[in-house]
Amino acid sequence: MKEDLLRRAHAGLSGPRRLRSVYLRRSVSDAYYALFHALAELCADNLIGVTKRDREAWRRVYRGLDHGPAKNELNQRETRQLHQSVDRLASAFLQLQEARHEADYDPVTTLRRRSDAESYVAIAESAISELDALPAEIRIELAARLSFKKRS
């Protein structure tokens, strides 16, 4: 899913023409959702198993990732300190989520140029690369933190 969303984000920005706002907005939204789905995949693959993608348990964990709690967890210092790549992808997630909210809901967007949207797509691609390169133990820890709330 993340690859398809990134492809669509790029496709919306292609061509020599001046882009209408709707295409810029859609590309920013697709960039955010590419990272969101990459995180959902990380959770399901690491907590259930990549070989069990056809199971209901895998789908439940994948679908269990929620935007607000993910934002809150990625804002936590302990989570960001897991690894330098987690810190960078957390920053990207927060930035992309804010940009997606503006793109999807603000009638007076600041997105004016193709380069505005391209920068968000590049942020998503970089964050997904960081996520894919995380050490196995950090991937598991991050998946657990994103999937389950901490209880005291």
Report yes or no on whether pTM surpasses 0.85. yes
Helix axes 84-105, 67-74, angle to 10 degrees: 140
CB neighbour class for 56 (10 Å; exposed up to 12, middle 13-18, buried from 19): exposed
pLDDT at res. 72: 97
pLDDT at res. 12: 82
Structure tokens at 104: 């999807």
Binning pLDDT at 50, 70 and 90, where does residue 133 land? very high
Structure tokens at 59: 């789908």
Residue 41: pLDDT over 80 = yes
User: Are the C-beta atoms of 61 and 48 separated by less than 8 Å?
Assistant: yes
- Domain residues of the chain, as ranges? 2-147
Binning pLDDT at 50, 70 and 90, where does residue 60 land? very high
Binning pLDDT at 50, 70 and 90, where does residue 57 land? very high
Percent of the chain with pLDDT over 90: 77
